[in-house]
Structure formats: C-alpha cells, structure tokens
Amino acid sequence: MSTSASSASSASSASGASSASGAGSASGAGSASNAGSVSGVGESGGAGTAHGSDGPVFSVDGLWKVFGPRPERVPADPGLAALTPAELRSRTGCTAAVRDVGFDVRKGEVFVVMGLSGSGKSTLVRCLTRLIEPTAGTIAIDGEDVRAMDRARLRELRRHRAAMVFQHFGLLPHRSVLDNVAYGLEIQGVGKTERRERAAAVVAKVGLEGMEHRKPGQLSGGQQQRVGLARALAVDPEVLLFDEPFSALDPLIRRDMQEEVVRLHHDEGRTMVFITHDLNEALRLGDRIALMRDGRIVQLGTPEEIVGSPADDYVREFVRDVPREQVMTVRTAMRAASADEAARGPAVAPETTVSQAIEAVARSGDPARVMEKGRCLGVVDSAALLGVVAGTDATARGEEVA
C-alpha cells in the first residue's frame, strides 16, 4: 500500500458517492491509495499495490437493511425512503440501518467503511455475506448474485471466499493456538496433517511462531487477535472482512495490529474490507474510504480526497483535526516545471506526502521534481507545500487539481 497518488478532486462528484441527502451507487471512486505507510522518495514512482483490472470483487447497489414491521415497504416507497431516521421511526416503527448504499470493492484494495456508532457500518459488512439478510438491493461477489445463493452456496462463500475477523476473537478456549487456527480447515474437511501444516505456516506469518501449543488464556489481547486473523487467513479467502477487529485493544497493540494488516496486504495483495469508527485507522489503512452517517454513504474516495475535498460540513468536521500534510500528496501542490527546474532538485514520487516533500525541499533549497517512470510531471516548491499545510491550496479552496 502507498500514499494516495490521485489528485484531490471533489470526492462527492469524482467518486460518485452517495450524498447525505440522496444515496446512490458509489462505485469507482478515485484511484487506489493509502494514507498510512508512505512510498519511498525517488525517481521510480508508481509504488503501491497493483489492483486487478478485472471486475470488482464485491459490487453493491441500492442496498437497504430495515429493521421493524414490514421492512420491505420502506425502500419500495419513495416517500418513506426520504424520511429522516426519526421521522421513519415515528411513522412506521422501522429503523433503516443501511439506506440505498452502493459501491464496488476492487481486487487487491483495502476498502474501509468508517462511521460513528449507529452509522450502519457493521450491519453493512454483515450484509455482504448475508450474516444479516438485506431488505432490498443487490450484492455480487465476482459477478455472482449473493442474494440468490442457497444455503450450501452461502456456506461455501463464508468458508472459502470471504472470511470475517471480528472484534471479539471467538477462540475455542480448550484448543491450542494451532488447533484454533486450523479450525476452519477442519470444517472444510481438510486432513489433519495438511491442516496443521497450513495452520503452522499462517501462525508464523502473523508473528506467533513458538506459541503454537499455548491456549488462548495464555495469550495477550493482541496475540489473541493475531490468532483470529490467522484463523481467517488459513482458509485462504479471496476477501478478508474486518469488523472493528482492533477497537478493544490497547493503543500500542492496536498500532501493532494495524502494521500487521499493512504488512500482510503488502505481501499478499489480498482484498480487504475494513470496518472502523477511528478516522486515523481509516486513513492509515484505506486505499479508499466510505464514510457513513445514518445508514448512508456521505462520501467515498481516497484518503486524500476525503481530507482535501470534504463533501459536506459533516465530513469537514470529521477531518478538521487531520494534519493535511500527512495525507495530501505532492500532486496537490505541483506546478509545471521550467527546463532548469526539470533538470535539478530532489526527486520525489507522485505518492510522496507533502510532509516528506517539505523535508526534501528544505534540505536541498530547490523545488522538488515529481518523477514518474523517469519523466518529470512537475515541481513543488516550499510556498506551495506550506500552502497545503495552511489549507490555502487549490483543493482547500474547492478548485480542481490537474
């Protein structure tokens, strides 16, 4: 994963995300990015995960989940669908946990769904594999209609294709680490020797080598969550679904587990859907972020788009305290280079954050060249970089960045 390489355009339009007042399909927002681990500075550029060019892994459109009497009437009636949550409860006794949500999850990306408690994010991720039955809308995995799957096909989906990692570890206390990790393989009917070999390899992968024979009660919270992650990885799923897996962990352990997710994604390029209420976690892990409020997606885009071009006042308040220079990339501050500037000065990749570029420019005294595949895309100077920090750059003013 790498820092966002896309320009910070208005995410409400560039991403096609649902607005706060009117939901809709939010597929295809922005380029894959990450505001967490930063790509190296240099002329190579283009660092990061190469996402598949085939169709989306998950495709969601017009998804509703309504709790209450006769829930199907809410999405079917435009008048009811347009009511506020309080009005809907008062008139029908129903609660719409997910309201007309649409998005695609691309192969190889970390797609983060973020929102406060009660925003609908956990209900949404459970709808993807029908752990919670949707009320209306479509869900497809690799083009296959999830809502049309029978019980056998659903079991296959949950066991082989989309594995869930929950906040509560759900480990079997009488089983060792190795046997907990191998449990999913046992359910699949994999032979004992093979499943233990595969489990041992995954245990080592998540940093628990030497602890294979310990029981869950002998592990710390972070170690137990690693076992839960290993158990999901052992079945080699196409997609990992994380439902606030680290929210109960201490801050330092939480940071370690975030690093583990970053490392695993870098090593394997596995598609991940990550649910969190923590903005910093979302910015650190997400290639793209869907921000939810009252069951709707209010903005979908890269971390750079979310921070640089908030779709509305709600999003703007959400990201107000985020240091822009740690999320925004040099594309935000880039201008055309003169012939002299294109030939000298430090080289940085397009994914380089503004904070990194400030260091490079300060050391050299010259504008930094933004290089990609040996070509100079433009330059960034100290005035433009400091403008991003101060919030006086083009994206902060709502202007389009080329």
The 8-class DSSP code of residue 156 comes to H
Q: What angle do CA 151, 27, 97 make, to 5 degrees?
A: 60
Which tokens belong to 201? 């390899």
The 8-class DSSP code of residue 109 comes to -
Q: Residue ranges of the domains in the chain? A: 11-320, 330-390
User: Who contacts 14 (Cβ-Cβ below 8 Å, separation ≥6)?
Assistant: 29, 30, 301, 305
The tens place of each residue's pLDDT in the chain, 402 residues long, gives 534 333 333 333 333 333 333 334 443 333 333 333 333 333 333 333 334 446 899 999 999 999 999 999 999 999 999 999 999 999 999 999 999 999 999 999 999 999 999 999 999 999 999 999 999 999 999 999 999 999 999 999 998 899 988 877 788 999 999 999 999 898 888 899 999 999 999 999 888 999 999 999 999 888 898 898 899 888 889 999 999 888 877 888 888 888 888 888 888 888 999 999 999 999 999 999 999 999 999 999 999 999 999 999 999 998 988 999 889 999 989 999 998 888 888 999 999 999 999 999 999 899 999 999 999 999 999 999 998 888 776 565 555 555
Contact indicator for 224, 216 with CB cutoff of 8 Å: yes
pTM over 0.85: no
Pick the CATH number of 11-320 from 3.40.190.10, 3.40.109.10, 3.50.50.60, 3.40.50.300: 3.40.50.300
Give dist(CA 148, CA 298) in Å, integer.
28
Contact indicator for 296, 121 with CB cutoff of 8 Å: no
Q: Is 261 helix (H, G, I), strand (E, B) or coil?
A: helix
User: Who contacts 103 (Cβ-Cβ below 8 Å, separation ≥6)?
Assistant: 17, 25, 26, 27, 29, 60, 111, 290, 297, 300
Give dist(CA 357, CA 326) in Å, integer.
10
Query: Any idea which architecture 330-390 has in CATH?
Result: Roll (3.10)
CA R_g for the chain: 22
